[in-house]
Amino acid sequence: MAVSEPQPEELSRWREGMKRLVKREPFPRDRQTFAYRPTELVGLAVGISTAEGRSGASAVWLRSVLQDLPGKSPPTNAWALLLYHYAAAILGVEFSLAIPARLSEYDTTELGLLIALLAQSRVFKASDFEPNAVQNALLERVVTESPIARDTERLAALYGALSLSLKTRISASISFDHTLPKTTIMKQKILFLAANPTGTTQLALDEECRQITEKIRAADHRDSLELITRWAVRPEDLLQHLNEHRPHVVHFSGHGTSTEEIVLLDKDRKPMTVPAPALKQLFATLKDNIRVVVLNACFSKPQAAAITEVVDCAIGMNKAIGDDAAIAFATAFYQAIGFGRSVRVAFESGKTALMLAGIPEEKTPELLCRTGVDPSALVLVDPNPAQRNPK
């Protein structure tokens, strides 16, 4: 009905069907109704507007359903909210529940639907978001994540949005690489967080950072990695840094306790501990693009285990680890990542570096993964030699 001219008999059947539908309760207790299935609601809105127009009795009825829906506990994921707004726009009524303002709250297919609706300019305006931000988010997400299609309608939205996004960018410039820079879809951010409070054993955190930087700069894919360093980290800084940078890898270097805590700084630069449940909640809330967390601190295995309930992979230490061992492991790990190796190979490279250096602590680091994640298949940068940048 939306894409072709309906025949008179189709319109007649539609009107008869709507006469029966409007007599039903749209909000039954079991929630088994079109009102809680937004794709069906959009279909009804399209059919009603085509068969009767906005002034018909069915349109008036469906508008009232949309107006009452926010108070009936409808689904509030981005996909549902986008479709509710779309149905409301078709019928000329406001839907009171706002769509998410942060693009990190959308999954891959929801971003696809958002782009499709932005292109129509019927529901939302591109000016509601930072220019190109939605397209950038979608293309980066497709490169860095494995989308989970819930059903065929979501795949259709994703396919259509990718086609639209790429056509828009290609037509804007002859050079595809110019309009879609590598920093947009290829750059993998490593957020290096360091804390060495007053009164604790002084660690060579600056040396660890320096060696990691050198190994990344010497790697084939150095231009695909960005190392961001933040020092003297306090608990409240964690929210700021994850919100600001949205990294793919989070690396913490500092102290850990035998009571399953990492040690940060308080306002007086003295030790302040953060327990495993708080870390898990942090990453559950702001995981965004995070694929790997490295806790290069003593006794950090329990924290890593908690984190892998919400993040693909985490590395923790099953006991105390020496300064030299921590540095050797970390530098070899990121060296391998920079050469396009998988997380599994990078982890084993770190252990191998300890053995080659004669440091008998290769059994201290442990790699833990979320259920269903294969670290051997998790590669953070493109290992294709054709994509390597010449030195």
β-strands 249-257, 261-265 pairing: antiparallel
pLDDT at position 151 is 54
Domains and CATH numbers, the chain: 8-178 (no CATH), 188-387 (3.40.50.1460)
Rounded Cα distance, 31 and 368, in Å: 40
Give CA angle at 202 (270, 367), nearest 5°.
Answer: 95
pLDDT at position 133 is 77
* Side chain identity, residue 10: E
CA 116 distance to own-chain centroid = 20
Q: Let me know: does 208 contact 324? Beta carbons within 8 Å.
A: no
Q: Let me know: does 360 contact 329? Beta carbons within 8 Å.
A: no
- Compute the Cα dihedral for 319, 323, 329, 334 and give only its sign: positive
pLDDT string in tens for the chain (391-residue length): 454 566 777 778 878 888 888 888 888 888 888 888 988 888 888 888 887 777 788 888 899 999 999 999 999 888 899 899 888 888 888 888 888 888 878 887 788 788 777 766 556 655 556 657 777 777 776 666 555 544 555 666 666 666 655 555 434 433 333 333 333 335 899 999 999 999 999 999 999 999 999 999 999 999 899 999 999 999 999 999 999 999 999 999 999 999 999 999 999 999 999 999 999 999 999 988 899 999 999 999 999 999 999 999 999 999 999 999 999 999 999 999 999 999 999 999 999 999 999 999 999 999 999 999 999 999 998 766 444 444 3
Three-state secondary structure string covering 50-118: HHCCCCCHHHHHHHHHHHHHHHHCCCCCHHHHHHHHHHHHHHCCCCCCCCCCCHHHCCHHHHHHHHHHH
pLDDT at position 135 is 73
β-strands 365-369, 313-317 pairing: antiparallel
Q: How far, in Å, are 183, 269, 312 from residue 187 at the CA level?
A: 5, 33, 19
DSSP notation for 240-293: HHHHHH--SEEEEEEEEETTTEEEEE-TTS-EEEEEHHHHHHHHHHH-TT--EE
Rounded Cα distance, 372 and 87, in Å: 37
Rounded to two decimals, the pTM is 0.54
Q: Let me know: does 369 contact 308? Beta carbons within 8 Å.
A: yes
Rounded Cα distance, 172 and 73, in Å: 43
